[in-house]
Chain A
Amino acid sequence: MSNRMSILLVLLAAMALVACERALLRPNPDTDARSILEEYLTLVEEKYAMLAPKGVDMAFLKDSLLNTVDGELSDAELFSRLAVVTNRLRDGHSSLLEGGDNGMEATFDLLKGFPRGVDRGILENNYIGRAVNPGIKQLDGDEFGVRAVWGTLPQAPDIGYLWLPTWAEEIDDSDIETIFRDLNGTTALIVDQRLNQGGDPNLAVKFAAYFIDEPLYVGFERFKTGPGPSDFTNSEITMQPANSDFRYLKPVAVLTDRNVYSAGLTFTYSLSPLDRVTFIGQRSGGGSGGVGDGYLANGWYWSLSVTEFVDHQGRYLDDGLDPDIPVALDLNDPSRDEVIERAILELQ
């Protein structure tokens, strides 16, 4: 075969292969109103992990919503139809954002209907501010000004206090070790998680692991691993203790409010099997599912809970966890935080 013929044949073969590229990719989806609505309904039906426990009837939603789309809709009209699905999930991890000039968004307001469970002014003016508690220590942070506050309280010098307002900012392993070393001499500990709306669950579990000295079964994570309604697999979660000399094995009160969400709940459910841990305050916000996210074909952002955590007692926790001792905050009395005071009473 001549060189010229060889080159021609190989180039033809190469062109055929490159043409396969288009054939092996799926075509781009349509972006008309009906297609976008169908895409979102399919995503929720296939990926959302809590349709059954929340009693969401996707067949009904599909029938009723698709019947309302006849021809083109404005963005606002289309968004309002998709938002019906988002709102039906009642899940702070599941949201829909337009991301454009109109600022349209649909998400669950987990604080709605709940009174405030913490007042930062009361907390700082009476318990952890330098003026009233010069020995308190803290790690500086961005969102709250602090990532962690720890020490003892003037009202109970033997009881330790640790405020963790967020899991969204990094805390080094050495800092965690320092915190628990400093708290080692106390007789009991208040872990104040109020305002903690989550962040990194790995960090939450790192802290939780300091409260055990042997493996602890906490429940299982259900993963949506396929499109069918029963396509779930479970990962049984047994928490391993922290490798530290300063593990905290004395009585603990964990303070919660409605803000305690997502990784905040991860910390909460990791400790809930322990008898020596008492939860005090307000029902937590929930957010037990792991989040998946992406874009619809028109560029609207979606997020969904694509896993669900079921605790050691078989409870679904996405709507939050009730405290052992419910306590309401009296905002008319700026000198007391009733939740902290109740924790001190419980631990003394």
Chain B
Amino acid sequence: MWELGLGGVGSFFQDTKYSDVRYGGGGMVFLFDRTAVAEKYVSNYNVTVGFGGESASTHDADFVSVIHTALSYRYLRSIHGVWRLGGQLDALDYYLRNSNNLGNNGTYSITGSQLWASVQHDLSVKERPLTLGADVGVLTYFRESTGFAFSIPQDAQEKGEFSYQNESVTSFFSFRNGTFAPLWDRLNFRFRAQYELHRRWAIGYQWQFARFATVTNYPTAYGQHRLNLHFRFVHKTTLKPAS
């Protein structure tokens, strides 16, 4: 089953390497889903493209545009009727921030892949399916574009790999100089709910939060609340009379 989603996002961000000031704002998100449901399992491919803007909570000098995209696959096995367990892989999670007025630190990105442990509970409300799910990030490989002070990854600085001729340390699309982080080094939580309003329409909510520190005692945290409407491309079926 194919689904197309459109929604609104409320997002937040804080990078304490540079300031404790929280940023917050809103935006839009587009979702493309392909879901297969069988008796024993549910699998889902998803592409998410979100964009928006954030401003600082203590001053109005800065406005930041935010782009967040992800390509992911989720697989869940039925374990007890209405409960499902499994995992999700965000193969390409790309988070980009661009500040209007900053110079070298004006562009900030987190590029990575994440493996999640997932649980899902299938319910029925007014004879319509309600799906509640939670994910915990168990292992992440990610590359933060900015280190403690300079706008190349902390790992590249600490390993002494900087050179103006080494484009991999400055490219926002590079996967080099990233960090493997298990759950205890990078908190990744997600809660999601989806309710079917109609055979073709569903409404969904998702909360996501991530917190990590590439420099000890200077954590970065970001996340979003997302409310979206899904349209399902469902084939019309005609019941044949019993012969």
Contacts and interface: CB of A to CB of B under 8 A. Distances in A.
Contacts of A21: 12, 207, 209, 223
B112 to A, nearest CB: 19
Contact of A6 (B18, B123, B158): B123
Contacts of A236: 160
B117 interface: no
Contact of B62 (A29, A39, A299, A307): A299
Contacts of A25: 12, 14, 22, 221
B174 interface: no
A224 B18 CA distance: 13
Contacts of A27: 20
Interface size class of B (residues with CB under 8 A): 35 or more
Contact of B160 (A24, A226, A234, A294): A234
Contacts of B61: 99, 295, 299-301
B52 interface: no
Interface string B37-63: 000000000000000000011111110
Interface in A293-348: 293-301, 303-304, 306-307
Majority SS of interface residues in chain A? mixed
Contacts, number: 163
Nearest to B223: A21
B184 interface: no
A300 B102 CA distance: 11
Contacts of B157: 223, 225, 233, 235
A307 B150 contact: yes
A224 B102 CA distance: 19
Interface in B189-243: 189, 191, 193, 207, 209, 211, 215-216, 218-219, 221, 223, 225
B134 A292 contact: no
B177 interface: no
Contact of B56 (A233, A234, A293, A299): A299
Given A266-B164, A292-B151, A226 B215 contact: yes
A215 B209 CA distance: 46
Majority SS of interface residues in chain B? loop
B125 A3 contact: yes
Contacts of B218: 227
A29 B58 contact: yes
A293 B102 contact: yes
A31 interface: yes
B70 interface: no
Contact of B158 (A13, A47, A225, A301): A225
A153 interface: no
B98 to A, nearest CB: 14
Among all A-B residue pairs, the 10 with the closest Cβ atoms = A299-B59, A299-B61, A306-B149, A235-B162, A223-B157, A205-B164, A294-B18, A47-B149, A235-B160, A10-B132
Interface of A: 3, 6-7, 10, 13-14, 17-18, 20-21, 24-29, 31, 39, 46-47, 49, 99, 201-202, 204-205, 209, 221, 223-227, 231, 233-240, 266, 290-301, 303-304, 306-307
